[in-house]
Chain A
Amino acid sequence: MRLSLGAGFVALMLAPYAIWFSVINEWSPIEPAYLNSAIGNSLLQAGLSAGFSVLVGLVLTFSILSESGVKRIHFFEAALLLPNLLPPLVIILSFLSWSKWIGFYPYGMWSVVLVHVLLNAGLVAVSLNRVIRTKALRLAEVAWVLGSNRRTIVWRVVLPVVKRELWILFVFVFGLCLTSFSLPLLLAETRSVSLEVAIFDTIRMRGNWSQALFLAAVQALLLLFLALKMPRLVTSQNIKDSGGSGPLGFSQLKILVFLPALFLVGGWMAGLSGGKLVVPKDFLPSALMSLSIGLGVGGLHLLLFLILVYLVPLGFVGRFLNGYLAPSPALIGFGFLLLPLSSEPWAFLKLILALTLISLPLLYRWLLHGAFENLANQVEVARVLGASSRQIGNEIVWPQVLNPLLKCCGLAAIWASGDFALSSIFLRGPSTLPLLIQDLIQSYQIEMAMWLMIPLMVIGILCYFFFVGAGRYVRG
């Protein structure tokens, strides 16, 4: 039973590939020049995005390492992670708003890279902060006591110790940027398409599904290579008060912690100040649709995570999720379009499932894997004591993973309520708030789009607190 449930879970994650390979019988190779250009652009874009994200993330790490109080560290981490917690549309709009304010629209690869860095540098910094506190802080203190200066400590002690983790984070961000869909779709130039956008264009513009499958297969091979090369990042789940800023306390860098948040808020303020809210005629149904998508995706995450709770110890399912990078949104989106049942309610359900298949592996790896791993010893003892999977799930795993699990559902709901890329594949017309916003962006009405972001953010927050609040109710 457990084995078949686990196998079913893995099969569901891999379903998009299976759909493509079962539906398309004919392989049609794409023109070599187009393929080479798409691969080259993807690798360059992902490489630059990952490289700069790790570099900027490293600088941000030293700004947060000067903090010793646990509460302040958590506050700083939240500030750094703010761009990750919001739908990408918010970051794109802030970016466009700044661009308009400056009077320069940098469409193309560098704008995609810049937004990727804004999105991922904070995530890198938070991970590195925990790695350095776990692995290198005590060594740095020893070197400091021995008389080394801070520059020597950073270059000769800290960086060599965390070299492996820097590489892992590079590969992780590289994988995220390689499958990035919404940003290149809005910000990239037509002549420098990435693999992701090429898959989209090949279907939408040329209607050639077999060529798109060929591109998707190339991307899947790249993702598989990355997944095999990516060991697990081991960091401490809990931060302890380190009792002082110590040898790595570059307090003059502290202001940088708020840079991503300032960028977002500044861009938003600049955008709002230039226009006024005009409520579009489809506002209410679009808002309700966005809310439904958010709640639907959060709910499906909850259901799938509950299966994991009763599968603990996760065994091959855990190893799979920890090494699996979700396929491209275009591949999932168009793959599901190939399935029968395309009427309105089915399209909505397919969208919910597609969004879930994209965010679930990322959220598991980011927030849940450690929580499940930490329970391994307790679960072993419970098994020896004679407990059933149900008792272990109900009494050991569920109460201890409830908080991170519901946070994951809330985050998935925020991201889903702000999705426009996959929604544009499944839904007709501007039937969600993000699709309305996308229309406004494409007609250069940035200020109007900024105003519409307010109800979208409210919907995201409502979705998040629906799931986190549900946790309080369950605990109560």
Chain B
Amino acid sequence: MSVVSGIDLKFDDFVLKVDQWEIADQGVTALVGPSGAGKSTLLRTLLGLYKCPEMKWLYKGLDLAALPVADRRLGVVFQTLDLFPHMTARANIEFALRARGVSPAEGKKHMDQLVEILHMQSYWERKASVLSGGESQRVALARALVGEPRLLLLDEPFSSLDQDLRVEARTLVKNLIEHFKIPTLLITHDAEDVSALASFTARMADGRILSG
């Protein structure tokens, strides 16, 4: 388990307060709740994108909250995917490898593995701006995973996909997580995401964790 504590953030009309919360260090922990509950704000706080000096996040004896954003070594896929549109699918993933300082030989091994699992061969050299929703999502997942992050954080990753693609994408993500054995935090408001993927569930409302 990793333990998050001491989050107390005030915004204009919203307070995020988490005294203590445990995230499983294996499988998928789903954080569910209605829109406006504060799920994405909590995720951004965990990533270090919001400053929260009182926060602690103990993960395998290390306080991740005390580290700068880059050194937390987290993988993230936002709802908007945010691929770098001027780069190809390959360049998006190579960017993450360089950012983590992975050696070219080791990086190539990781990339080949991800291309194989995610079936990205056919659009590997295509610009991100012209990829379909499903293709973009695979590239975003590969980019998040290629640097071997401590945890994978997924913020409503299926909401921009249509119904058929969602089913396929859930299966894909499940296989990936099992293959890489990476602990994952899934933010969602979709019950089907939870039933398909989650090993543990926490509920959130009005800026507080209610259970889990």
Q: For the complex, give the distance between the alpha carbons of A440 and B32 in Å.
A: 75
Contact with B along A375-400 (1 / 0, CB 8 A): 00110111111111001000110011
Interface: B178 (CB within 8 A):
no
- Residues from chain B with a CB closer than 8 A to the CB of A382 are 84, 95, 99
Interchain CB contact (< 8 A) of B84 among A380, A383, A386, A396? A396
Shortest beta-carbon distance, B21 to chain A, in Å? 20
Which A residues, 338 to 395, have Cβ-Cβ distances below 8 Å to chain B?
A: 377-378, 380-388, 391, 395
Does B147 make an interface contact (CB < 8 A)? yes
With the chains together, A115 CA to B69 CA distance in Å? 52
> Are A399's CB and B70's CB within 8 A?
no
* Contacting pair B100 A381 (CB below 8 A): no
Instruction: Pull 18 A–B residue pairs with CB atoms less than 8 Å apart, ordered by A.
Output: A381-B76, A381-B78, A382-B84, A382-B95, A383-B69, A384-B48, A384-B74, A385-B76, A385-B96, A385-B99, A386-B73, A386-B96, A386-B99, A386-B100, A388-B70, A391-B99, A396-B84, A400-B85
Q: With CB as the reference atom, state the residue of chain B lying closest to A402.
A: B86
**Chain A: interface size category:** 10 to 19
Bound-complex Cα distance A388 to B82 (A): 18
Besides the known contacts A382-B84, A386-B73, 8 further A-B residue pairs in the complex with CB atoms under 8 A apart: A383-B69, A384-B76, A385-B75, A385-B147, A386-B100, A388-B99, A391-B98, A400-B86
Q: Which residues of A contact B84 (CB under 8 A)?
A: 378, 382, 395-396
Q: Nearest CB to that of B81 among chain A residues?
A: A381
B80 at the interface (CB under 8 A from A): yes
Known: A382-B99, A385-B99. A377 touches B69 (CB 8 A): no
Task: Tell whether, in the assembled complex, residue B80 and residue A385 are in contact, meaning their CB atoms are under 8 Å apart.
Answer: no
**B90 part of interface (Cβ distance < 8 Å):** no
In the complex, whether B47 has a CB less than 8 A from a CB of chain A is: yes
> Is there an interface contact between B143 and A399, defined as CB atoms closer than 8 Å?
no
User: When the two chains form the complex, which single residue of B47, B76, B80, B95 contacts A395, counting CB atoms closer than 8 Å?
Assistant: B95
Q: Chain A: which residue is nearest B86 at the CB level?
A: A399
**At the interface, yes or no: B117 with Cβ under 8 Å from chain A?**
no
- A384 touching B100, Cβ below 8 Å: no
A399 to B128, CA, bound (A): 14
Closest to A313 in B: B49
Chain B: interface residue total (CB-CB under 8 A)? 27
Residues of B within 8 A of A377 (CB): 78, 80, 82
Are the C-beta atoms of B100 and A380 separated by less than 8 Å?
no
**Are A384 and B82 touching (Cβ within 8 A)?**
no
Could you tell me the distance between the alpha carbons of A395 and B74 in the complex, rounded to whole angstroms? Answer: 20
Please list the residues of chain B having a beta carbon within 8 angstroms of any beta carbon in chain A: 47-49, 69-76, 78, 80, 82, 84-87, 95-96, 98-101, 143-144, 147
Contact B47 A384 (CB under 8 A): yes
On whether the beta carbons of B95 and A385 are closer than 8 Å, the reply is yes
* A384, A387, A391, A396: residue with the most chain B Cβ atoms closer than 10 Å: A384
Closest Cβ neighbor of B94 among chain A residues: A395
A98 → chain B, closest Cβ, in Å?
46
Q: Which residue of A lies closest to B98 (CB)?
A: A391
- A-chain residues with CB within 8 Å of residue B99 when the two chains form the complex: 382, 385-388, 391
Q: Give bound CA distance, A255 to B101, whole Å.
A: 58
Output the least CB separation between B93 and chain A (Å): 10
Contacts of A399 in B (CB 8 A): 86
Contacts of A396 in B (CB 8 A): 84, 95
State A154–B73 Cα separation when bound (angstroms): 54
Are A383 and B98 within 8 A (Cβ)? no
- Report the Cα distance A385→B147, complex, angstroms: 8
Check if A387 sits within 8 Å of B70, measured CB to CB: yes
Q: Are A381 and B69 in contact (CB under 8 A)?
A: no
B159 to A: closest C-beta gap in Å:
15
Cα-based distance from A407 to B30 in the complex (angstroms)? 47
Q: Nearest chain-B residue to A383 (Cβ)?
A: B69
CA distance A384 to B98 in the complex (A): 13
Q: Across chains A and B, which 8 residue pairs bring their CB atoms closest together, nearest first?
A: A387-B99, A386-B99, A386-B70, A381-B82, A377-B82, A385-B96, A385-B99, A383-B69
A388 to B68, CA, bound (A): 11
A388–B96 alpha-carbon span in the complex (Å): 11
Interface string of A392-416 (1 = CB under 8 A from B): 0001100110000000000000000
**A162 to B: closest C-beta gap in Å:** 26
Interface centre among A377, A383, A386, A387 (most CB of B within 10 A): A386
B residues within 8 A CB of A385? 70, 75-76, 95-96, 99-100, 143-144, 147
In angstroms, Cα B111 to Cα A277, docked, is 67
Please report the C-alpha to C-alpha distance between residue A391 and residue B87 in the assembled complex, in whole angstroms.
14
Residues of the A chain whose Cβ atoms lie less than 8 Å from the Cβ of B72:
384
Residues of B with C-beta under 8 A to A395: 84, 87, 95
How many angstroms between the C-alpha atoms of A381 and B149 in the bound complex? 13
Assembly CA distance A396 to B147 (angstroms): 18
How far, in whole Å, are A386 and B76 apart by their CA atoms in the complex? 11
Q: Are A380 and B70 in contact (CB under 8 A)?
A: no
A386 touches B147 (CB 8 A): yes
Q: Which residues of chain A have C-beta atoms less than 8 A from B101's C-beta?
A: 386
For the complex, give the distance between the alpha carbons of A387 and B86 in Å.
Answer: 17
Contact partner of B69 (CB less than 8 A), chosen from A378, A384, A391, A400, is A384
Residue among B69, B71, B73, B144 with the highest chain A CB neighbour number at 10 A: B69
Task: Give the distance to chain B from A3, nearest Cβ to Cβ, in Å.
Answer: 14
Nearest chain-B residue to A381 (Cβ)?
A: B82
Chain B proximity of A440: nearest CB distance (Å)? 48
A380 / chain B contacts, CB cutoff of 8 Å: 49, 82
User: Cα distance A385–B68 when bound, in Å?
Assistant: 12
**Which residues of chain A have C-beta atoms less than 8 A from B71's C-beta?**
386
A396–B143 Cα gap in the complex (Å)?
15
Closest CB in chain B relative to A14 CB, distance in Å: 27
Q: How far is the CA of A377 from the CA of B78 in the complex (A)?
A: 9
A383 to chain B, nearest CB (A): 5
A221-250 Cβ-contact flags toward B at 8 Å (1 or 0): 000000000000000000000000000000
- Closest chain B CB from A40 CB (angstroms): 40
